[in-house]
Amino acid sequence: MSETTPKYWQSLAARAGDPAVLERSRNEFAEELPVGVAAQPPDASSRRDFFKVMGLSAAAAMVACQRAPVQKAVPFLTKPDELTPGLSLWYASTCGACSAQCGVLLKTRDGRPIKVEGNAEHPVSRGGVCAVGQASVLSLYDANRSRWPSVGGTKATWASLDQAVTEGLRKVAEEGRAIRLVLPWVMGPTAEAAVARFLAAFPTARTVRYDATGELEAIAEAHRLTHGVRVVPDYRFDQAKIIASFGADFLGTWVSPVAFTRQYSTARDAAGTREMARHWQLEPLMTLTGASADKRVPVAASDMVPALAGLVKRLAQKAGRAVEGLSGVPVSRVDASVLNTLADELWAAKEKALVVCGGDEPVAQVLANLANELLGNAGTTVSVSGGLTLDAGAMGLGELLAELEAKQVGAVLFHGVNPAYTHPRGEALAELLKDVAVTVATSDRLDETASLVRFHAPDHTPLESWGDAEPRRGVLSLRQPVVSPLHETRGTVESLLKWAGVEQSHHDFLRARWEAEIFPRANVATGFQAFWDEAVRQGVAVVLPQPATTESPAFRPESVAAALAGTAAADEGLELVLYQKVGLRDGTLANNGWLQEMPDPISKATWGNYLCVAPATATKLGISDGQVVRVSTGGKTLAVPALVQPGTHPRALGLAMGYGRTKVGRIGNAVGENAFVLAPFNNGKVRHAALGVTLEVTPETRPLALSQTHASMEGRGLVREAELAAFLANPRAGNEQEGGHGGGHPLSIWSGHEYKGHKWALAVDLSACTGCSACVVSCQAENNIPIVGEDEALRQREMHWMRIDRYYEGEPDAPRVVHQPMMCQHCDNAPCETVCPVLATVHSTEGLNQQVYNRCVGTRYCANNCPTKVRRFNWFDYKHDEPLERLVLNPDVVVRTRGVMEKCSLCVQRIQEGKAEAKRDGRELRDGDIRTACQQSCPAQAIHFGDINDPNSDVAKLAKSGRAYRLLEEINIGPAVTYLTKIRNTGNGSAE
């Protein structure tokens, strides 16, 4: 790295010192638009354009004089006994946003669910919740949900639909034709019991299981081969000393990222245990997990199986065991020294080592299973008996397509899946369904698949329904409704029971099953009613596993050779890798604006997908950011903008799934391109990596809405790192700068502040933070932060009160990554306060930098003078045009209007609520009584909040640690936010 190259950089252009980038970073209020964004002519009726034409200073006085809209109050005449207007109620439940099914707490105000938070009493997720779970409350109020059942696209009653479906199913069964239920792999024990009742009522019925990304199916299929049971094991990262991940984004999207993130942060808490698990990541694309790795090796997708085989071969030699079939696997192109070192470290840890594998290739999963078997980690870092057992008798969607083509199917029911969108043969499926007599879908909207069927029986959202889950064997989570159904919907479990002739509500069926099957395993002295009430209150019950599942099935070594037979050689050309983004996943929640606008933790892009290209490949082919390329494979072509992404393997091309929806709603329709159509489909199996890809560069460009690269560190030490060995020798390693221990600059133009009571502060552990962005969405939900849309995001006018700055270090082909949460620093000597002409931003007696909205006239002087650039300006009235969507707003936080500045308040409404509750209880406020929204949601527990004047508080103790530093101490702004240096276990023993 040359002397002129910055150590930390956010984009390749900034690393290269592009003068245009540097100029844009200095001219923060520039009005020029990105390439490809058309300028809009001034609108005489537009207040923004009026300010532009007349001058902001002349119009500023008019802003504060706007009259607030008149609203009428409606008296609450018949109030439920348990509800007090103005006070929140919390309900324990289970998240239904993805298959991980984490434990959550749901906050309601006056009967309205407004916030999702983690349930600290849940033994698996342990208080964390991801961005998707946080955003699920917004989906409850989605105006594009179906509001009633329909038959043939026409509104119907439930009675008429039930009669038609039941008669149709009975007729199909009597004729001996097949009935197929297309379901997700993970539904929950009680839902599975309802499916079993349905299958018993219709002898010709079978389940078809479908996973849009294929990862769960691949893991389960591999364990069917190696252990004789279709299971997703219980992985325990907190028990591991060495973690080797082959393409598994376990901190982002793989299996159960919230639980794994908490385990991972526990295993890597060097400050608390003076030990730190070491993490290797081999992958084709830079993932959230790869960004946290100590050793990251870019590996082509086609080389993943050979690399795993090479590792297994080395482990087998150390174990003195022969493994048949390995000789037929092509030799890996991964450097032999890398595999040698990895094998040595894994073998040294043995039962404390863990090998995991991502992707949808069962062969790779079989090799990962074999590696764990050789290490002898069963019951320590991997538990097959403690995992999630999947449907052993299910068909695959490929088999269903074959049956449909043979016209053997008389009825198809879809629940929780959308294959018309997520399967590469979605168009063929649409044609084949036309010949099926009975077609039913229970999706929450008329999506791409539901719009093809005759009967649509819309399901409740998870916030409106009962249910349960078993994320770990013996851990039963309950889901309870926190609001009555907003529309004429009905739970799928109840629908299946009714069509099977069982007249029982979902709640009664669930409760009866728990009394008959769960309560006998609870090992409690109380009666069932007390057990049930406590399970509902806590949202979870820990019971004894079923006796038949307590023993781990033996490994079948003979299965390996059969699985490895015919392994193809690694490819030499370009390879397409379809991946999930942390926010949008498979696109089920594509109509959720919070997720669409959440910056991707790695690329920092919003609103749409793009083709990730390695810097070396981009240079070779002449590709730049935003340039449209045509990617072709299997006779299909997509035109997408390119993004030059550091850390990508030179042969890998990454394209995110979940975009290109056509029937999801007004927010998600026509955003990006549908990557699923490019997935190879051979021998009835879908794979999400394609070889032999061709790439055509076009002269067309599409701007990318990047959220961070317009900012700059300007060479300052905003992020700090240290190697583990150096940190253990010196707690201030990597943090030796003057003032790095929380001390201030001795010279000041301010007289200082004296806080006799509370002084609120944050501490952020960079070593724990993974950049998952759950805090960003949590802050958005808590503080009524609007989405601004793609057009405004292109103009760099994002509104998030906190952001996750992502910095690279090193060479573009294999950089290291540091994530830094950035919010208002609540400076003691706040530069924003000295320039505000109307005292709209002032300091409180408890150390908060307050923003008084009804004083603000929108001069933006404070934003210009803010050194950390954390203030946001309301360019428009970002209204919720749909009345239903306004119900998600938090009444404790004012909705800001056009023309004012806003920013992080350290959740002052929670501070006031916590103090009021302590006062009502007649006690002193305790450390931990108040938790900010960002802190509460963090799966890694990277954020700490409290009173820094209390020497026993966590935040005060962390502020005195050797790793503590504050931003820009050289200018003596006195931030209330302390950062802790990032610790890496790279093994080189030197400070970074």
pLDDT reported for residue 2: 52
Specify the domain boundaries for CATH 2.20.25.90 within the chain. Answer: 88-140
The mean pLDDT values, 10 residues at a time, for the chain of 992 residues are: 63 71 58 52 43 36 39 49 75 93 93 93 93 95 95 96 97 96 95 96 96 94 94 95 97 96 94 87 96 96 94 95 84 93 96 96 94 95 92 93 96 97 95 96 96 97 95 93 94 96 94 94 90 94 75 84 77 91 94 95 95 96 95 95 96 96 95 96 90 94 84 73 92 75 53 84 96 96 93 91 92 92 94 93 93 93 92 83 85 91 95 93 93 94 95 94 90 92 81 40
Cα 521 off chain centre by: 34
Rounded to whole angstroms, the Cα distance separating 920 from 58 reads 48
Q: Which two tokens stand for residue 597?
A: 């606008």
Which amino acid type is present at position 69? P
Distances (CA, A) of 842 to 464, 588, 829, 835, 976: 42, 43, 11, 11, 15
Which amino acid type is present at position 573? G
Sign, CA torsion 702/705/711/713: negative
Do 541 and 535 meet the contact criterion of CB atoms below 8 Å apart?
yes
Specify the domain boundaries for CATH 3.40.228.10 within the chain. Answer: 215-389
CATH numeric code, 8-32+709-984: 3.30.70.20
The SS3 assignment for 606 reads strand
pLDDT reported for residue 83: 65
Alpha helices, H only, 478-614: 492-499, 506-513, 528-538, 558-564, 593-597
- CATH class given for the domain over 150-210+396-549: alpha beta
CATH 3.30.930.10 fits 215-389, yes or no: no
Radius of gyration of the chain (CA): 28
Specify the domain boundaries for CATH 3.30.70.20 within the chain. Answer: 8-32+709-984
Which amino acid type is present at position 655? L
Specify the domain boundaries for CATH 2.40.40.20 within the chain. Answer: 571-706
Specify the domain boundaries for CATH 3.40.50.740 within the chain. Answer: 150-210+396-549
Rounded to whole angstroms, the Cα distance separating 153 from 848 reads 55
- Residue located via tokens 């991502």: 358
Do 397 and 210 meet the contact criterion of CB atoms below 8 Å apart?
yes
pTM for the complete prediction?
Answer: 0.92
The size of the chain, in residues, is: 992
> What are residue 682's DSSP bridge partners?
685
Do 735 and 962 meet the contact criterion of CB atoms below 8 Å apart?
yes
CATH numeric code, 571-706: 2.40.40.20
pLDDT reported for residue 547: 66
Cα 401 off chain centre by: 32
| Distance linking the first and last C-alpha atoms of the chain | 15
Q: Which two tokens stand for residue 704?
A: 């990318």
Pairing of strands 409-414, 438-441: parallel
Pairing of strands 689-701, 964-965: unpaired
Count the neighbouring beta carbons within 10 Å of the beta carbon of residue 73: 5
Q: Which two tokens stand for residue 745?
A: 């600059």
Which amino acid type is present at position 608? G
Residues 6+ apart with CB under 8 A from 624: 618, 642, 644
> What are residue 388's DSSP bridge partners?
232
Pick the CATH number of 88-140 from 2.60.40.420, 3.90.25.10, 3.40.50.720, 2.20.25.90: 2.20.25.90
Q: Please give the DSSP secondary-structure letter assigned to residue 616.
A: H
Can you give 646-690 as a three-state secondary structure string?
A: CCCCCCEEEEECCCCCCCCCCCCCCCCCCHHHHCCEECCEECCEE
